[in-house]
Amino acid sequence: MTSPAAPSSFPSGLPSSPGAHVRAVHDDFHGDLLEVSMGPHHPSTHGVFRMIVTLDGERIVRLKPVFGYLHRNHEKLGEQTTYLASMPYTDRLDYLNSMTNNWAYAIAVEKLAGQAVPERAEYVRVILAELTRLLNHTCLAGFLLQDTGCSGTPLMYAFREREKILDLFESLSGSRMMCNFQRFGGCRLDPTPEWLAAVRQLVDGYGRFLDEFEALISGNEIVMARTQGTGVLTPALAISAGVTGPMLRATGVDYDLRKVDGYGVYPRFEFRVPLGAHGDTYDRYMIRILEMRESIQILRQALRDLPAGPILDPKAKNRGFRPKPGEAYGRIEGPKGEIGFYLISDGSPNPFRYRVRPPSFVNLTILEDMCLGQTVADAVIILGSIDIVLGEVDR
Amino acid sequence: MESLEQIRERLLARFPDAALTVIANPGPAGQPSLLVGSPHAASIAAFLRDDPALRLDYCSNVTGVDWPDREVVETIKRTVPPPPPAAPADPSAPPVTPKVIEEKVKRHIPGYFEVVYHLYSMALKHGPVILRTRTADRTDPASLPSLTPIWRACEFQEREVYDLFGIRFTGHPDLRRILMWDEFKDYPMRKDYVEPDDYEWEPTPHGAVLDKARRHYPAPPESR
């Protein structure tokens, strides 16, 4: 590799010399800066997302994300409808994780109204949330490999497993992705024994899929060369920037709301919180694989201990629901990070203020910091490893 | 974690001239918040982040709230002393009980904008401590201090509050619209925002939509 100090080995002006067609690297590596608008329609941006990248040669010196193309003012819609009517809208935030979005919203409303949840519903919620985590992390691993240029195969392997989970969601709630399943004080429907047996079967087979996937990917030399050391995030910056979820834990910060808040029945289960050491793209990939293995453990325990009983609190009032004036902030550990809902009630059937704390949106804050000094191709996989869904970023 | 009153006492000891009020939360969630006067907001936030007993290093949620002008009807009980007796008091008459009158008093609360910060500690794993800052009224340009220099997590979220509520954050490094496009004029999350009726004429079964469209488009000229 030629060092920048000795560019003269390639006489400039020749059509065959590297970079002859790009002005930025033409004159002795001190050329003009080049501004590239990546997106909004680009397969690597996972939706309609744009990055205005300023390049010095191939290195990024400035990156400004531009989004809002899917903005529909979700929060205003929430203030114009009743509490229950917002539940199906939360499905559309992060359309991969409708079950956890539902749960976060239900937890916030239950806090606001002081509503209790029956034990069986708590277990079912944990089962659904961990299935969602499997689904999200599987998809992410597939998409991330797609972004690195590993076309097709890993993504299709991931989607094969995702379809199995979506089939389960469909047979339970009637919809693959827009599940609209949680209610204030429990769940909408009680899972049948056949459904639980199907979940058990999926959980038993999932470890084998992960083994197969990891045998192909995790030790792959090209994947390691491409992802290790790219997009390094320091723990101090991650904490200050409010980064949550697997991205935070990849930097080595031990902060998992399932342990910290202990919401639902999570304190009853034994599981570990995997932590990264380098905060690079490879760690962010690996953390998700390890979290999936822990999710399998949680699912096994939850399926084993699932108690009988009502699925919805008999005293719960979902229609004509008017909580007393007050406010509440409820949050859970979603697959992408902390998803929270902040609600202010003035005693009317509609929330006075309805706010979503979207994990993808906040995690995007440090995109520029991670990409500085990297190449454009690296920016693509760094963005992929943040794991954004534009329905949630833009709201 | 110490209670919000204790935090307030310690803050008052450190910043004696700061305006600090604990806002109670009447609902069952039990999350009271601390209203901070804008001149001291940044230094108080830095104190909360760096204090070894609190270490609120993680700002989870930043959001704006628009409180329009409100009229609150309060019931006030007032005792009316009995009128002095015209005739000399008859000792056998029962004692006159003072009358209690309930009066409904309308109280006008002027509106204001509010920004709410939910703070947690990742180091000590506690929280939330909820900070609020308020503008004096709803007149434009509304402006409040930015806490982005304290917590980087506020950067995009304060931009969003600026975009949707029109609150300018002084000290924000990059205050631009984030979700709406740059040329957009209004602030959609305000309670008095009127959505523009720039849709095309279309026969619709919804009376409200039809009425709005009729108002927007002039009536077609009479055919001769």
Looking at residue B90, its pLDDT comes to 67
Q: What is the mean pLDDT of residues A172-193?
A: 90
pLDDT band at A15, cuts 50/70/90?
very low
Q: What is the mean pLDDT of residues A87-103?
A: 90
Looking at the complex, report in whole angstroms how far the Cα of residue A304 sits from the nearest Cα belonging to chain B: 30
Q: Is the pLDDT of residue A26 over 60?
A: no
Residues of chain B with CATH 3.30.460.80: 4-68+111-170
**Adjacent-strand bridge partners of B120:** B58
Q: Please indicate if any CB of chain B lies within 8 Å of the CB of A49.
A: no
A27-36, Cβ contacts within 8 angstroms, sequence gap of 24 or more: A29/A4, A29/A57, A31/A56, A31/A57, A33/A61, A36/A376
Interface contact flag, B28 A357, Cβ < 8 Å: no
Q: Is the pLDDT of residue A370 over 50?
A: yes
Interface of B with A in 29-68 (CB under 8 A): 29, 31, 57-61, 63, 65
pLDDT above 90 covers what percent of chain A? Answer: 39
Looking at the complex, report in whole angstroms how far the Cα of residue B116 sits from the nearest Cα belonging to chain A: 10
- What the block records as the tokens of A211 is 């083994």
Looking at residue A9, its pLDDT comes to 39
Looking at residue A331, its pLDDT comes to 92
Looking at residue A29, its pLDDT comes to 56
Q: Please indicate if any CB of chain B lies within 8 Å of the CB of A345.
A: yes
- Best B179, B187, B191 member to test A by mutation, with max A CBs in 10 Å, is B179
Looking at the complex, report in whole angstroms how far the Cα of residue A83 sits from the nearest Cα belonging to chain B: 16
Q: Cα–Cα distance between B180 and A68 in angstroms, integer?
A: 6
**pLDDT digit string (tens) for A325-365?**
889 999 999 999 999 999 999 888 999 999 999 999 999 98
How remote is the C-alpha of B6 from its chain's centroid? 24
Domains in chain A, start-ordered, CATH in brackets?
Answer: 7-66 (no CATH), 74-394 (1.10.645.10)
- What the block records as the tokens of A289 is 């694989």
Q: Is the pLDDT of residue A17 over 60?
A: no
Looking at residue B25, its pLDDT comes to 85
Q: Is the pLDDT of residue A23 over 80?
A: no
For A28-39, give the DSSP string.
TT----EEEEE-
Counts for chain A of helices (H) and strands (E), in that order: 15, 8
Q: Cα–Cα distance between A179 and A188 in angstroms, integer?
A: 10
pTM to 2 decimals?
Answer: 0.84
Q: Is the pLDDT of residue A312 over 50?
A: yes
Q: Which residues of chain B have pLDDT under 70?
A: 85-91, 93-96, 197-205, 223-224
Say what the alpha-carbon torsion angle A163, A166, A170, A171 is, to the nearest 10 degrees: 80
C-alpha count within 13 angstroms, C-beta hemisphere, residue A362: 33
Looking at residue A123, its pLDDT comes to 93
Looking at residue A22, its pLDDT comes to 39
Looking at residue A335, its pLDDT comes to 92
Q: Cα–Cα distance between B119 and B127 in angstroms, integer?
A: 6
- What the block records as the tokens of A76 is 């205003």
Q: Cα–Cα distance between B100 and B81 in angstroms, integer?
A: 9
**Helix-strand-coil split of chain A, %, nearest 5:** 50, 15, 40
Interface contact flag, A255 B125, Cβ < 8 Å: yes
- The closest alpha carbon to B158, from B51, B32, B11, B59, belongs to B59
| Whether the Cβ atoms of residue A249 and residue A235 lie closer than 8 Å to each other | no
Looking at residue A37, its pLDDT comes to 87
pLDDT band at A114, cuts 50/70/90?
confident
Residue A136 parent element (H or E): helix A119-147
Q: Cα–Cα distance between A79 and A85 in angstroms, integer?
A: 10
| Whether the Cβ atoms of residue B160 and residue B189 lie closer than 8 Å to each other | no
Q: Which fold has domain B4-68+111-170?
A: Beta Polymerase; domain 2 (3.30.460)
Tokens 């806002």 -> residue: B23
**pLDDT digit string (tens) for A240-286?**
999 999 999 999 999 999 999 888 899 999 999 999 998 899 999 99
